[in-house]
Amino acid sequence: MDALARSLADTGLPHPLLVDAARAAIADGGPEEVGQRARRHARAAARSLLQPVINATGVLLHTNLGRSPLAVAADAAYTNLELDISSGRRGSRHGHAAALVARLCEAEDAIVVNNGASAVLLALAALAAGRGVAVSRGELVEIGGGFRVPEVMEQSGARLVEVGTTNRTRLADFTSVADDPANDIVLALKVHQSNYRIVGFTEHVTVGEMASLSVPVVADIGSGLVDSACPWLEDGPPAWLAGEPAARQTLAAGAALVTFSGDKLFGGPQAGVIAGRADLVGRCARHPLARAMRPGSLVLSAFQQVALAYLRRDGQAIEFWRMASLAADELERRAHAVVAESGVGEVAEVASVPGGGTLPGTEIGSCGVVVAGDWTAALRAGTPPVIARVGDNRTWLDLRTVAAGDDRYVVAALRGLP
């Protein structure tokens, strides 16, 4: 057993994992020689580990691939995570990245938690446990991973009070519910519909209209667009962003709080944000769940880097926005180079999508390479794996979601196709 495990040392895996591979090879039998079986198990173990992949799907915020791409480099070091350097006393982890995002959103205060669902859960638990929360029936959504608004509300301890109908909800519906003492309403919740739309005979209530209610409005804008004006982009907001709610404008319209994800349109690490009125944010920060949901220094440091890039108005330093704003002619030039160097496939116009439950139905013109047949499994088998998509029995590789420096891996993967 030990000799078989040591024969796999060139795979780079730690010895205990090589022992596991050797044991599995001996146990499963099969037509291969035991050494070959052991090597196959070792390769499978290595490929199951978290590792970089080349995203050629054209989905900018691909949930299965970690959503927004992010470069983080940090030396082994202590940080002032909860230390006030000026006074030498204990500080707050909410005073760094969270303070920056509050500045970005023009909010009185903000805190950062470990994901968008946590932000909603914490806000409801801290502000409405045992009390009523009014939500339009058209916004009782389920998004990826089974996140359902009614279930999250139940876990928070708040009581759901449904308003209006699935397709039409008016301000009068909210007012009648909020003004009825029997409902004990303390919050009105507006939920971004995320990855679906209701069209046709519809009506909804805006944040500005809801702000006239007798209770605070919490707006879950979901995708994390900071400012609809996109001052970090030289050419301003792209057309495909039209209609997407933004944190700054939502607060300006009268929302008491906004919640959103950090790894979608914000372009940062997986995190969640609660921003808005200082008294309400403070109640969230003091709630016992806040400790269970707080991120560590690595996440907060990465979040801070992205927030500083926004404040510098340097969209090119945020990888999501750099990719999203690439010109189609530049992508076409790269596609021709990939085809020429690999000798495989053809240049083709393709359509990228935001992904991550953001802007459903929105397409962004792009360019890439198309190859006849389904080669997705073969492309995934390379190092690094290249993740493509298949349609009409053709394999499509969209270069918008491939960093220019990674085109060489696409070329090598295409050359390696049988």
Q: Is the pLDDT of residue 288 over 90?
A: yes
Q: How far apart are CA 103 and CA 112, in angstroms?
A: 13
Give the pLDDT mean for 275-304: 96
Q: How far apart are CA 159 and CA 182, in angstroms?
A: 12
Distance from the first to the final alpha carbon of the chain = 35
Q: Contact, 194 vs 141, CB < 8 A?
A: yes
Q: How far apart are CA 335 and CA 404, in angstroms?
A: 10
Query: Scanning the structure block, which residue is given the tokens 């794996």?
Result: 385
Give the pLDDT mean for 226-252: 95
Decide: residue 232, CB within 10 A, 0-12 exposed, 13-18 middle, 19+ buried.
Answer: buried
Tell me the pTM: 0.92
Q: What are the b/e assignments for 304-317, b being 16+ CB within 10 Å?
A: bbbbebbeeeebeb
Residue positions counted in the chain: 418
Of 66, 121, 150, which is closest to residue 356 (Cα–Cα)? 66
Alpha helices by DSSP H, listed for 191-296, are 207-210, 247-252, 278-286, 288-293
Element (H, E) at 237: none
User: 30 by DSSP, 3-state: which?
Assistant: coil
pLDDT of residue 193: 76
- What digits encode the pLDDT tens for the residues 70-85? 887 788 899 999 999 9
- What digits encode the pLDDT tens for the residues 87-99? 999 999 888 999 9
pLDDT of residue 240: 92
